[in-house]
Structure 1
């Protein structure tokens, strides 16, 4: 039995059947008990009325045993009857209360008085439980027929409830297993290479959440496959360009069409360096993906870290329009980072800012946040980033303009991806906000150094073109 639908159907049927049988059993027993009680109360009333009539007709209880033992159905209900006169003397009874025995005060207090016209004419009680009618006796034929009809109705109701449980079980089982069958079919299709699979979300319960998770997984997998294909194409393009240049020069040198010169060797060396940088970047990203990126962490003054990055771009600042300004307090707690790695991140962000900022300023700011965190902002007044490009800005080989070719000295589109990998390896995060025509802000969040560590980064001094402000 491998079908989940069949298992659920049988489970619902079993639950319905057990419930119906229990209800039928309880109702049947209760009905019989109530019928017996009804007959007992009714015939007890008949018995007492007969005793009252006998006492009125005879003026006492003499000969009452003949009435009780020879009149149906009084002979049945008088089996456990104990009857005493007004003095407490038994006139009709069974062991241990035989006729002629006087009842004790305690027994007489528990007995019920028998009244006629408001006067007490005797006392009675039953020894043990009142006798129940035997329904197969012809005297209770009507009652037996009623009980049989009630039993039949109960059995039919149980059978109907079982059928309804079976129908409902089939419907519910198919309803529950339908999305599972769809998920199974979609999973098998994905295993065969058809990755664009989606299933319909039919509910908001756990199965609906499973369908949503599958759709999200399928979408993420599709994006990952597309990103891998795009990265492979971009990587091939970035490798082909310098290799094509070097091949052209080497073939020309081999065939004697061109003569070697320092200029040619410099170009070829520059292409080799570009290939080396690309390979190093890819290796760094692969280490970050594997969680094997080594970090030589130590406590570093955030202000000194920003001033070092600003001074590294002093020459570019002097030859361009914008200025660099550092905003950081001397009292900020140290951050727990690898100095060289974080310098690589800040240098990359500053290089991007300088590339897209023709005038205005670039601000490197640091401030303390909650949860023992330091926030570093790299703000510029450049051209900004288009809203449709912001979600992809940290993707590998992503370029805002796909048709743009590699310019001299320009990266292959891995800089921001590397920056994100390094920051996250430090246990931090990086995000970006931008407005076209106004500027861009990259925000880095880094952990504060442990209290046992001391700051080891020396303070740097200001230089021409770099403004260091203290808030």
Structure 2
């Protein structure tokens, strides 16, 4: 699927670039061709100007009179062809400019062509391209020469068209080769760029696929157990109250588990989609941690785990000094999300710390030069293997697969939610662990978003 998409993207890159290059090449070709034609026409007009200045005009010997524009009757005029064109011997060059002189009646009187072309005579001072043979073209300008109201004749100047076709053909070849080379290069670059563009989509798709599979697994198991218990209860014609009560307790426990899982999934979805903005307010982190620890103490006592809360001022300080320093632990953040963050971290530590173990929650300001607070949750559990550390923040990931079968195991979303909440507050979260020694999770939070 992704290879097909990559091919389509590369093809679109190449096709769009090819069209743009063709449009550019066409425009450039037309510009060059028009420029060459204008240069040829300028040359022909310049020749006409030179010929006009060299015309030998004299009275006609045929007699008669001609009325001028100002009402004066004068003898008719004619162009002395022999005197005008006596020095214009036909040149031998291929790029020569040929001249033709026609009488006022359109008869050819003089030409530099060895074989004058049999082309109809019509005035065209703007220039035109005429075809002599399949392989021979001429660029011509024809002008009527007159003196007053009297037409003296017609002058046609011709130039070989290869002065235009030769460079334009070479230009077409060069443009064709250049476009082919550029399209090939763009195809290779398009394939490379499409790979870069597809990579995050592919990664997101794989994550979504894995997330869907994990979520389905997490939901399928409790739903199947609930369904089994209900079917057993309904199939018993003489139900035992005590037995059914046990089944209902199982169903209630699994329902709570499903509720927590759905709540976690909804929280992740809403936060990543931006549907629920961060509600920033002033939060005293030392008090918030105290409340969370107080809530978790009952679970810690039940598991015979010692839960300790440490502040820097607690060593040798009295209560008045501690109260006076509370403002040092204030920050701007979402209170509900921060409660969820530290509840997840402490409950996760409680789940993985055996009886008679210790969990230490320590709050301290960041090192000098940084404005922020750091919370460390350290337990004396079994620890995490080094190869599992890079994946601990992945959704539904459990370093020990056996944990997924335990009654008190979570859904595998606690650390993923914790990481998301820390990122929402522009903070950092780190996890360090050694097998047999325990795990330490450190959270660094800025006091305000402006300090990030």
2:205 alignment counterpart: 221
Q: Deviations along 1:377-431, whole A, 9 cap, x unmatched?
A: 333454433444344434443322345443223323233344445556x645563
Q: Distance in 2 between matches of 1:23 and 1:284?
A: 71
Farther-moved stretch of structure 1 (379-388 vs 404-413): 379-388
1:265 alignment counterpart: 245
The 1:395–1:427 alpha-carbon spacing in structure 2 relative to 1, beyond 3 Å, is: same
1:311 alignment counterpart: 294
Q: Does 1:399 align with 2:398?
A: yes
Q: For residues 110-259 of structure 1, what are the structure 2 equivalents within 5 Å? A: 138-139=87-88, 141-142=90-91, 147=96, 152=162, 155-173=165-183, 176=186, 178=187, 202-203=188-189, 208-245=192-229, 247-248=231-232, 250=233, 254-256=236-238, 258=240
Partner of 1:159, secondary structure, is: helix
Farther-moved stretch of structure 1 (341-350 vs 16-25): 16-25
Q: Is the 8 A contact 1:309 1:343 kept in 2?
A: yes
Residue 315 of structure 1: how far off its partner (Å): 4.8
Query: Quick one: which of 301, 306, 309 aligns to 2:284?
Result: 301
Q: Is the 8 A contact 1:336 1:447 kept in 2?
A: yes
Partner of 2:174, secondary structure, is: helix
Q: Distance in 1 between matches of 2:45 and 2:35?
A: 15
Residue 156 of structure 1: how far off its partner (Å): 0.8
1:15 alignment counterpart: 27
CA RMSD, aligned part only? 4.8
Farther-moved stretch of structure 1 (337-346 vs 441-450): 441-450
Q: Is the 8 A contact 1:27 1:154 kept in 2?
A: no
1:377 alignment counterpart: 376
Name the TM-score, length of structure 1 as normaliser. 0.54
Q: Distance in 1 between matches of 2:92 and 2:16?
A: 49
Q: Structure 1: any 5+ residue segments left out of the alignment? A: 41-74, 78-134, 179-201, 451-471
Q: Does 1:356 align with 2:352?
A: yes
2:330 alignment counterpart: 334
Q: Does 1:283 align with 2:263?
A: yes
Farther-moved stretch of structure 1 (433-442 vs 229-238): 433-442
Q: Distance in 1 between matches of 2:449 and 2:16?
A: 55
1:190 alignment counterpart: none
Q: Deviations along 1:107-126, whole A, 9 cap, x unmatched?
A: xxxxxxxxxxxxxxxxxxxx
1 or 2, which has the higher strand percentage? 2
Q: Which is bigger in relative contact order (C-alpha 8 A, separation at least 6)?
A: 1
The 1:174–1:308 alpha-carbon spacing in structure 2 relative to 1, beyond 3 Å, is: same
Q: Does 1:389 align with 2:388?
A: yes
The 1:245–1:418 alpha-carbon spacing in structure 2 relative to 1, beyond 3 Å, is: farther
Partner of 1:434, secondary structure, is: strand
The 1:336–1:266 alpha-carbon spacing in structure 2 relative to 1, beyond 3 Å, is: farther
